[in-house]
Structure 1
Amino acid sequence: MNTPLSHTLPVEVVVSDCSAADAGSLFAELCRRFGSDRAADETPHESAGARPTIWAGTFDTSVAHGTAGPMASSPPLSGPVKAELQGEPLAVERLRHALDEMFLVRQLGVVAGDQEVDVELRLESRPRT
């Protein structure tokens, strides 16, 4: 008898064009909803020099462990954040849905391959009401 293998749906998230604090807030919120190779309290660091800094994390969207629906406590961002999501289309869609609940999301581009999709997004804070 064959036992089904656990099938993870990982999405690699690469964040840039923002502060380390904004990257940390975004990753912390994603860690609340999905398993990750990052710790929720792991703080990104700025790198010295003129080169742009990027931060990356992998999130397992096969099992969501956060609550659904807009979160009143979604962190405010100090400015727009560029996020690139890469993975299986279903996995990317699940993570994109979570981002839509937390932030104003604008899709900048998409590249679809045979079994993977790469989506570039711009995230901004939702207006406080």
Structure 2
Amino acid sequence: MNSPVAHAPQVEVVVSGCSASDAGSLFAELCRLFSSDRRAEDVPHETAGSRPTMWTGTFDMSSAPGAPERLEPPASLSGPVKAELQGEPRAVERLRRALDAMYVVHQLGVVAGDQEVDVELRLESRGMA
């Protein structure tokens, strides 16, 4: 008997326009909620040179979000962070709602295809906006 394999909707998150510390804080918060190819304690590193640095992580939206381990707000970002979310539309929306609960989120753009959506966001700590 052939049974369909359940598709685990994943969202790729690309973070740029910020410090390695801010990227690490954002990824740590998402890792508290969703399974990922990253660990919460993974520390992004700056790269030398004139090219912009981007950090990526993939998050699995197929399971229920984890319970926050603490009741404190997320670590403050030192400035705005650009985040690009790419994946299946419902999965991207689910991750977007999680970000909305933690940060002030400004949508900068969206590109929608048949099976995938790409959303560009600017995230700010509450109180910065």
Structure 1 CA distance for aligned equivalents of residues 44 and 64 of structure 2: 23
State the match for 1:40 in structure 2: 40
1:110 and 1:119 in contact (8 A); partners too: yes
State the match for 1:23 in structure 2: 23
TM-score, reference length from structure 2 = 0.92
1:127: how far off? 2.0
Amino acid at match of 2:123: L
Quote the RMSD (CA, aligned, Å): 1.6
TM-score, reference length from structure 1 = 0.92
1:72: how far off? 3.0
State the match for 1:104 in structure 2: 104
Structure 1 CA distance for aligned equivalents of residues 65 and 102 of structure 2: 15
State the match for 1:81 in structure 2: 81
State the match for 1:9 in structure 2: 9
Q: Relative to structure 2, which stretch is displaced further, 56-65 or 76-85?
A: 56-65
Structure 2 CA distance for aligned equivalents of residues 65 and 120 of structure 1: 22
Deviations 1:70-104 (CA, angstroms, capped at 9, x unpaired): x5331100000000000000000000000000000
What percentage of aligned pairs have identical amino acids?
A: 71
1:111 and 1:118 in contact (8 A); partners too: yes
Unpaired runs of 5+ residues, structure 1, are: none
Unpaired runs of 5+ residues, structure 2, are: none
SS in 2 for 1:63: coil
State the match for 2:64 in structure 1: 64
SS in 1 for 2:97: helix
How many residues are aligned here?
A: 126
